Amino acid sequence: MSAKRAPAAPPQLPGFSYVQVLGSGGFADVYLYEQALPRRRVAVKVLLAEKMTSGAVEQFQAEANVMAMLSTHPAIVTIYQAGVADDGRSYLVMEYCSKPNLQVRARSAPISVAEALRVGIQVAAAVETAHRAGILHRDIKPANILVTEYNRPALTDFGIATTADGRDPSAGMSIPWSPPESFADNPEFTVQSDVWALGATVFNLLAGRSPFEVPGGRNGGADLIRRIESEPLARLERPDAPASLFQVLERSMAKRPVDRFESAVAFARALQKVQIELAHSVTPIDILDDAPPVEEQEEDGELTRVRGIVSIDPHTAPAAGPTWERSALAAGFGTGPDAAVQRDTSGWAPGGAPADTGADATVLRPPTAIPPAAPVTSEVDEGTMLRAPQRTAATPAATGPAPATDTTAPPARSRKGLWIGLIAAAVVAVVVVGAVLVASALAPPAEVADPQETATTAPEPQDPVADFIAAPEKSDNTIRGGKVIFRWVNPDPQEGDTYVWQRVRLDGGEAAAENVAETSVVVPLDGDTQVCIDVSVRRENGATSDATRLCASS
């Protein structure tokens, strides 16, 4: 590893106390601060002083504005505030995600198919939200997907984001997750460019490497670009990954943009179909809706309408009858590969409001009131139920003149005949009842089984911290012979515990993560004045703790 610059000194920010360095890149440093009010830990991204040119400052401010506009989405890192420090450096205060990012996770241990599908759908929803706001991310990759305290993915780093119709030959996309068109002489960036990166990211989570990286082979920039442009996607070497999942990833990373999914939400729906095939819980697609506010609606089933958020939940299947429109995944996936709904031919939603007729709209309509006396036929015409014509006593069978009516009254029945009929019916009833009683008396008594006691087990109380894994605690470090010996303490050692550690690269890149059994590791200085590592406890079942950062300065 070549020598890298040391992080700049953290700025003094009113209301914030500096804690430690989190990382460094080519344009900015990221620090951990503690905010005084409200008290919480935050990540602060600070632009480097030597990068304080007009263009860099504008780009930094654009990133702040883009993330602030989108950060209400549950899968996008939240932005708290932005400003300029006393020393003139621009800074951005963000949500602090202490858990290892998905690049570290994927390198250290395999990620299950279920989690990869869930993360792919949630991040795709975030990307779709950005696209609907006219923003391309252009740098989607596992390292830019952080993990919140609630184990939800959070997309970050909109530093090179641009408008959806923008073209920028100097784009800073990362080669392993970039589409072929980004390497052209006149690169074009479209929605399908981000779809490629989404597919490459999910592939990385499943394979533990980028899609065109060859284990043990040459993986330089030129080698990766050649494979991305000309070679087919290597198959996933996982028996638990179905062929349908590989087909989704293969389509998302087609060489030609026109052959890919037309949108991020279409990619998410394809992953939902795989979840259904595997009988997994289906992850909802949350999309920020920029339509005018509407009246709040009551909860119905599993779908809760949140103002400003369109939640596409294929598990929601209203029980009110066939006049409901269902999402494509809950009703045979509609009539096309990416159809979201089966719409009423009227094109109008309840209350007279025009329904969204876009390709990605998902609509749930309340049932049409049907009079109970009107039976419904089995014929359906595009969501409109056809009713059979009803014939009642007041409805003539056909049009035309009414037939002649005989007004002659029938002759009155004889009272004598009526009494004879009633007496005969009573005699028959007495005979039948007597026969039943005699048969019951002669039948042997039925054996009655002894009642069995049903054992009931009281539910065990839930331990809310049973799955918590304590992070490693710092110990002493030793610098000797151009190397640093980092040591740490496992506060809650369990049988089978190991430790995942990763060197923090000062250029903002990702170093390979390693798994060790000891509570120490030797790291070469390589000419750096400061060396930092992140270390986590890893249980035998694959679960990991939060990372603890250890630093040493020569």
> What would the two tokens of residue 348 be?
């109008």
Backbone angles phi, psi at 234, to 5 degrees: -70, 145
Question: How many Cα neighbours within 13 Å face the side chain of 300?
Answer: 16
What's the rounded Cα separation, in Å, for the pair 334 and 313? 14
Q: Closest Cα partner for 362 from 319, 320, 333, 322?
A: 333
What's the rounded Cα separation, in Å, for the pair 99 and 101? 6
Please tell me the chain's helix, strand, coil percentages from 3-state DSSP, rounded to the nearest 5: 25, 20, 55
Q: Quick count: other Cβ atoms within 10 Å of Cβ 121?
A: 28
- Tokens 């390589």 label which residue? 526
> What would the two tokens of residue 10 be?
């953290």
Q: Hey, which residues does 551 pair with through a beta bridge? A: 532
Q: Closest Cα partner for 47 from 33, 70, 64?
A: 64
With left for phi above 0 and alpha for psi between -120 and 50, is residue 244 left, alpha or beta?
alpha
Chain centroid offset of residue 426 CA? 74
Q: Give every CB contact of residue 350 below 8 A, 6+ residues apart in sequence.
A: 365, 366
Q: Closest Cα partner for 253 from 178, 186, 187?
A: 178
- Tokens 């996008």 label which residue? 76
- Tokens 């019916």 label which residue? 425
Give 180's DSSP letter. G
What's the rounded Cα separation, in Å, for the pair 391 and 410? 27
Q: Is 273 annotated as a binding residue?
A: no
**Length of the chain in residues, anyone?**
554
Residue 56 CB-density burial (10 A; 0-12 exposed, 13-18 middle, 19+ buried)? middle
- Tokens 């930094």 label which residue? 60
Q: Hey, which residues does 21 pair with through a beta bridge? A: 31
What's the rounded Cα separation, in Å, for the pair 284 and 128? 13
Backbone angles phi, psi at 393, to 5 degrees: -65, -25
What's the rounded Cα separation, in Å, for the pair 237 and 326? 36
Q: Closest Cα partner for 261 from 73, 77, 457, 127?
A: 127
- 160 close to 194: Cβ distance less than 8 angstroms: no
CA angle 28, 34, 35 (to 5 degrees): 100
- 95 close to 30: Cβ distance less than 8 angstroms: no
Residue positions forming the annotated binding site for ATP: 45
Residue positions forming the annotated binding site: 45
